[in-house]
Chain A
């Protein structure tokens, strides 16, 4: 059986990203229209739209296994691409696809299960000689046990959800008195997010870099890596900027870590695209953290520096084709950085700031790639993530990529919600970011300010506030504004909508 029609069990930019490659491969696509986002941009990229707006189930359709299988069967899609998030790493979903003779574009249910359970993954890594941080043998059941293990391996320790990922259900504990509180929080968060309250403990590596390796494996047992990405710019384990390659690695360390990444993937007979995450400490020791068994948000930076379309590889592998790329064919060329432009209020601790995007203008050019599922008029809804767009910028080396990124950031125009743009404008000007010495604690420890403004911006804002005051209090005439189309209307009234939710 060859894939001829893919149901995309996802939304937003990743749905569009998958459809772009599917179109190049002449494969039809089906997407799902939901009541939450009935006019979303991704709907216009598909060959077929399945209308699910009448669905009144409490579970979003992208998490509803039975429903997704039935939509695939109804629309005669013989494959499902889960994207990232939602059911992308759900072994049961992959199994259900298999049982219904639908190709799951991703790894085997067995690999999903083993890597999805962090305690099993830890054991696998240990048995295969992969460097690991010291930690509990398996799950721990109460805070007394946690305190006992922590005192053996030494504080600080990190509590992690066994079924976790994406930073949820994790807490760092620095002294035994904090254990009771954080154990409870982590366990509750784990139960809420993953339906599994089990947690385990690891030695917490202070100030590491987050380095991850992109893996590709086929169903014939060939596994290669496509080099690393550095994702150390993160806040509360949420990545904000990723780049490929990493300036922390030389070719020797790259080879060593890459080999380890391939080895752990082989331990579960991995196929499809996947990512092996490591922490790298200041002495260049590295520790296996986890394997992400899906396409990742930050995959574009790898695509740019390797020239390999990862979605295409996923589809070919799912079709049963052997990998045509050999390890020695993989060449890293240039540098790429990705900024996650989210609807978040940087000045309020990155709190989500959902709302309607009123105006949107994104740059384009040779060094720029934009992956987005948002257009002017779209809404960032609180039921989904807060991503507006991924700005991916490249250059011949890191310095040039950052320089190009700085220029591109000033060309992004988004109105309607607060965004992470001011953060990135600050970041590209920060010396520690520029010289590459930053670690995962950069945002928490090295920054006293989360945004950048040029010298006169605050003064101009003050001028505007004063102008408003004058017009509201000191003038009898209504507001006169220099409109380009000589339309007379008050922008203040128009703009009071912002932040009214």
Chain B
């Protein structure tokens, strides 16, 4: 509890590495230039939850939250932030400097659907952008492409089976 009380600032880090800092206790005001603008979180029957800012309503949703990670849908656009305290931010910086490149790539189904065809076998080499699996969803066949150059380590996807969103299709060893 004492730790919590000492926190003077929080940082929201976007997935594109932009940093927004807010002083704690968090105010319902945001300073732009020399003026403070009131930001309000509200909800009603007609709109659901929304943010009121400069006399305009923006639809907002919390799509996902896990620990300090939040996916926010703001005016129909999705943003992912991790909220860090000054301490955790410092720790993260140290950790990041030690971490190397990912060695494994798990290729996941981007949407629920049916596997039409698997175009690779275990041990095959793939190039970035090469189609690996064909997934049919909502009447369209989609080529799921390899995001990296590498070797296929294992193949989980089977033709003519249904997959859920985020099911792992293949595991690729990154070169």
- Give the B-binding residues of A (Cβ under 8 A): 168, 181, 185, 188-189, 192-193, 236, 238, 345, 347-349, 351-352, 354, 358-359, 361, 382, 385-386, 413-415, 418-419, 421-422, 451, 453, 456-470, 472-474, 481-485, 491-492, 494-496, 498-499, 501
Contacts and interface: CB of A to CB of B under 8 A. Distances in A.
A482 B42 contact: yes
From A348, A464, A465, name the one whose CB has the most chain B CB atoms within 10 angstroms: A465
Interface stretch (B14-22, B97-105, B147-155): B14-22
Given A189-B141, A474-B4, A483-B42, A465 B83 contact: yes
A473 B137 contact: no
Interface of B: 4, 7, 10, 12, 14, 18, 20, 22, 24-26, 30, 32, 39-49, 51, 53, 58-65, 68, 70, 72-79, 81, 83, 110-112, 116-117, 119, 131, 134, 136-141, 143, 165
A164 to B, nearest CB: 12
Given A386-B138, A415-B59, 10 more contacts: A354-B138, A422-B75, A457-B75, A464-B41, A464-B72, A467-B26, A470-B10, A473-B68, A474-B7, A501-B112
A463 B11 CA distance: 9
B24 A474 contact: yes
B9 to A, nearest CB: 10
Given A464-B51, A468-B65, A474-B24, A484 B44 contact: yes
B53 A499 contact: no
Contacts of B131: 181, 185
B83 A382 contact: no
B42 A382 contact: no
B47 A359 contact: yes
8 A-B pairs closest in CB distance:
A462-B20, A462-B12, A469-B83, A461-B74, A465-B81, A465-B70, A491-B49, A352-B138
B44 A458 contact: no
Contact of A481 (B12, B18, B30, B43): B43
Contacts of B141: 168, 185, 189, 192-193
Contact of A458 (B18, B46, B49): B18
Contacts of B140: 168, 236, 238
B60 A464 contact: yes
A492 B74 CA distance: 14
28 contacts: A181-B131, A192-B136, A345-B78, A359-B47, A361-B47, A415-B47, A419-B76, A451-B77, A453-B75, A456-B30, A459-B30, A460-B30, A460-B58, A460-B74, A461-B81, A463-B12, A464-B41, A464-B51, A464-B72, A465-B70, A465-B81, A465-B83, A470-B25, A474-B4, A482-B42, A483-B43, A484-B43, A498-B73
A54 to B, nearest CB: 25
A485 B77 CA distance: 27
Contacts of A462: 12, 14, 20, 22, 79, 81
Contacts of A474: 4, 7, 24
Contacts of A421: 76
Contacts of A499: 63-64
A468 B47 CA distance: 20
Nearest to A483: B43
A347 B137 contact: no
Nearest to B134: A185
Contacts of B14: 458, 462
A5 to B, nearest CB: 30
From B12, B32, B58, name the one whose CB has the most chain A CB atoms within 10 angstroms: B12
A465 B11 CA distance: 10
Given A192-B141, A415-B48, A469-B10, A463 B77 contact: no
Contacts of A498: 61-63, 73
A252 B76 CA distance: 42
A168 B136 CA distance: 11
A419 B77 CA distance: 9
A466 B12 contact: yes
Contact of B62 (A236, A419, A457, A496): A496
A61 to B, nearest CB: 17
Nearest to A489: B43
Nearest to B82: A465
A302 B51 CA distance: 38
Given A382-B137, A461-B72, A462-B20, A361 B44 contact: no
A392 B112 CA distance: 31
Contact of B77 (A188, A347, A464, A482): A347
Contact of A467 (B41, B45, B48, B77): B41
A407 to B, nearest CB: 13
Given A185-B143, A415-B61, A382 B138 contact: yes
B77 A465 contact: no
Nearest to A476: B1
Contacts of B51: 460, 464
A238 B141 CA distance: 12
A235 to B, nearest CB: 11
Nearest to A348: B110
Contacts of B59: 359, 413-415
A330 B143 CA distance: 44
B48 A358 contact: yes
A472 B145 CA distance: 38
Given A385-B138, A498-B63, A463 B78 contact: no
Contacts of B76: 414, 418-419, 421-422
A122 B141 CA distance: 25
Contact of A463 (B39, B44, B111, B139): B39
A326 B117 CA distance: 52
B163 to A, nearest CB: 13
Given A462-B79, A466-B83, A382 B12 contact: no
A96 B46 CA distance: 47
A368 to B, nearest CB: 19
Contact of B44 (A467, A485, A492): A485
